[in-house]
Amino acid sequence: MKKNVFNVLIMLISVCSFAQKIKIDKGEIKLDEKTIGYVEGKKPVFKIYSLDKSASITAELKNAPNEDSMKLPWIEIKNETTGKTNEIDFKNKSRKFSAFNYDRSIIYELMDRGYFTAEGLNVEAIENFLNGESAGIAAKRLGVQGDVDNASRLADTYQLAIDDNGVIYSIKAKNIDPNDKAIGFIRMTSPFTNGELKYDVLDLDNRLIATWYAKAAMVSGYDKFLNQELITWDNKVFKATFDNRGNPIGYKMSKDITAMNVVRVLVGNGYSLGSPNFENRK
């Protein structure tokens, strides 16, 4: 019972803290001008101390290789003495996250979870967290990146090309004419009043395989905005990056890097284009 009351009090303190302002001044962590702890280091590794410096943790910012630059890192919390670690995500980026003050952003995240309070570093809560079940953030994020890398390697084996008419070619084309390496088509349009681009990818029978949207697109059957993402005929969604560097002067589809990114993502995720994708389509 006492433990439950204590946890409730910690939560209340944390909630109240959001009405207060955290500032870091020469390594001092201040809550409404009151020093409640210390932090040292710089991105990506910070060391956070209790007020009397008798206890500390490290907070390291982590990213998966080649992730979208807009994707926020996760935070690995570590007790350097025991070597135990666990992870947290930035959950309050809309209110408290700042790319210019990662140290302060980390403190806000710790406070949101009761690991840092108006009284400073909550050693007991942190130890329970580090001894508890792994959050699994690294495994998930690195696993997703592994899928992306594998898809890219698979796309490489198809030796893809796109001509100026939007015809997609591949060395692996399975056409009746062995000299015909066409596997599909890609078309670029700008159907929206805000000028945002979209690309349609079609098979050799001109049936739609997927559509890529540049920004803030809504489609039937999917309840989120599509931003630099494509949605396939079977409602799978994949990220494909916009890149306009291929056409600095004029425009040629054969030089359109975004178009190639879209096709590579499709092929790398098992959409071989041609016509076989639709043999079992209802």
Share of the chain above pLDDT 90, in %: 48
Taking the domains of the chain in order of start, what are their residue ranges? Answer: 2-134, 158-278
Q: At how many degrees (to 10) do helices 257-268 and 137-157 cross?
A: 100
**Peptide bond preceding 178 in cis form (omega within 30 of 0):** no
Mean pLDDT across 88-100: 71
Which three-class secondary structure state does DSSP give residue 81?
A: coil
Which of 35, 5, 12, 13 minimizes the C-alpha distance to 23?
Answer: 35
The least confident of 49-63, 141-155, 212-226, 267-281 is 267-281
pLDDT tens, residue by residue, 245-265: 888 888 899 999 999 999 999
Cβ-based neighbour number of residue 150 at 10 Å: 12
pLDDT reading at 15 higher than 60: no
Confidence at residue 31, expressed as pLDDT on a 0 to 100 scale: 92
pLDDT reading at 87 higher than 60: yes
Confidence at residue 199, expressed as pLDDT on a 0 to 100 scale: 95
Report the sign of the C-alpha dihedral through residues 263, 267, 268, 269, in that order.
positive
pLDDT reading at 36 higher than 80: yes
* Contact between residue 201 and residue 273 where contact means Cβ atoms under 8 Å apart: yes
Confidence at residue 223, expressed as pLDDT on a 0 to 100 scale: 81
CA separation for the pair 137, 43 (Å, rounded) = 19
* Contact between residue 62 and residue 74 where contact means Cβ atoms under 8 Å apart: yes
What's the length of the chain? Answer: 282
Residue pointed to by tokens 């944390």: 14
Which of 143, 129, 38, 55 minimizes the C-alpha distance to 85?
Answer: 129
Q: Would residue 61 be called left, alpha or beta, if left means φ above 0 and alpha means ψ between -120 and 50 degrees?
A: beta
pLDDT tens, residue by residue, 56-76: 999 999 888 767 767 889 999
Confidence at residue 195, expressed as pLDDT on a 0 to 100 scale: 57
The least confident of 65-69, 79-83, 172-176 is 65-69
Name the average pLDDT for the chain. 84
Confidence at residue 20, expressed as pLDDT on a 0 to 100 scale: 66
